[in-house]
Amino acid sequence: MPINITMPALSPTMEEGTLAKWLVKEGDEIKSGMIIAEIETDKATMEVEAVDEGKVGKIMVPAGTEGVKVNAVIAVLLEEGESAGDVKAPDAPAPKSEAAPAPKPSTPPAASPSPLTPAKAGAQSSVAVLDPGLRREERTVGARIMASPLAKRIAANKGIDLKALKGSGPHGRIIRRDVENAKPGAAQPANGGAPMTADSLILPQILDDRVYAPDTYELKPLDGMRKVVARRLTQSFMQVPHFPLNIDITLDNLLESRAAINAAAPKDVKISVNDLLIKAAALALIDEPDCNASYTDKGIAYHKHANISVAVAVEGGLITPVIFKAEGKGLAEISEEMKDLAARARDRKLKPQEYMGGTFSISNLGMFGIKSFASIINPPEGMILSVGAGEKRAVVDEAGAIVARTVMSVTLTCDHRVIGGAEGAKWLAAFKRYAETPEAMLL
């Protein structure tokens, strides 16, 4: 009986991915452990190993296909004695009849199946990926616009009003080719009856002729990373009660210490200010363990180690590789590890275990000249530190004289379900102590 190869879940949060590349073709013999494909998730591009042995009988999902749902059948293996003719694709479900009664107002419309979710047959049955354009139509309440979910999603991305289109599918249903052949224009009105979704909150449909003329912009569809980042940050901003704490830190001692360390270090070692801040943040978390915590429905998780997530800007979004157990690592080790993680993050080559499991985040925009800012919390972490630029400022010293000092403003954003104002202030005091007297990090 043919063996299904399904879309793997490459991280706990992965719901779908892009089948970027096949490394095998139909007819190839594969063995367990052989690399057969490359999958792009919202965070990285990863290789997929074969679990079973056999001959590739049919590739169900071609290379370059986006939005492939986890557990969808992407290829079928043939065992000894089987042929490609043994691979059977199920018939597409028949479209819903026009005579079907409209749903009652109090009953929400049934959720449509995912376009790439396999049908439930036998454990070893061959399941084809169905064309989303062949799925049953969905109607918006009152307006009775018949369109496939994929057509709706493409229309939203292109700013197209579905009411203005004539469908070429069964019973006049609008399908993918109708939307792809249409020109960007007016979007659906906000009160058009479509159900409110997280994506509609993240990307308001404001591409109306009355706002932007169709020929004055170019619409670039969201990639997987941008969608996930937008969704998660929106959820964090709306669902996590947070508050900011601000403090100024004098950097002159830290900068002098950094220069002395780099002068004494081997040529291939160069400690950055960010490396010192990672170490200072980790030690402050150990000093104030109540702040090294995450909120859960079952209770507050107090972490035993300071795993520092560092925001790295990449094309199409950002990613937060983690320096694990940073409190016990030297500056040279932190520096080398951070350079490696940042380089592979930009190439989207990080493994899930390298960007998950952080207990605290740092976002540094000082290199761009940003004086101060407040970041959105990266759940399930309880705090995130926003680091601004160090700049010369006039300050009053201990003797009462006005002198020039290098000062940096930082903002600590706290999850109020976990961290109170007093706890956050204590952590900032500890962080300030390490940053302003870096020799304390050696104790």
Q: Could you tell me how many residues make up the chain?
A: 443
Q: What is the spatial distance between Cα 277 and Cα 430, in angstroms, rounded to a whole number?
A: 12
Q: How far, in whole angstroms, is CA 152 from its chain's centroid?
A: 23
Would you name the residues annotated as active-site residues? 416
Helix, strand, or coil (residue 98): coil
With beta carbons less than 8 A apart as the criterion, state whether 408 and 273 touch. no
User: Among 276, 256, 237, 249, which Cα is nearest to 371's?
Assistant: 249
27 class by beta-carbon count within 10 Å (0-12 exposed, 13-18 middle, 19+ buried) = exposed
**DSSP conformational letter for 86:** G
E strands, 397-431, in order:
402-415
Give the bridge partners for 313, in sequence order.
Answer: 318
How far CA 346 is from CA of 9, 37, 198, 323, in Å, comes to: 22, 21, 27, 16
How far CA 235 is from CA of 27, 78, 379, in Å, comes to: 45, 44, 9
- Please report the DSSP string for 156-212 in residue order: HHHT--GGG----SGGG-B-HHHHHTSPP-PPPPTTSSPPP-HHHHHS-----TTTS
With beta carbons less than 8 A apart as the criterion, state whether 69 and 16 touch. yes
> Considering Cα of 187, then 67, then 39, then 181, what sign does the dihedral take?
negative
Q: What is the spatial distance between Cα 172 and Cα 147, in angstroms, rounded to a whole number?
A: 9
Q: What is the spatial distance between Cα 416 and Cα 16, in angstroms, rounded to a whole number?
A: 32
Q: What is the spatial distance between Cα 74 and Cα 58, in angstroms, rounded to a whole number?
A: 9
User: Among 368, 405, 408, 406, which Cα is nearest to 387's?
Assistant: 408
With beta carbons less than 8 A apart as the criterion, state whether 171 and 145 touch. no
User: Among 98, 120, 102, which Cα is nearest to 110's?
Assistant: 102
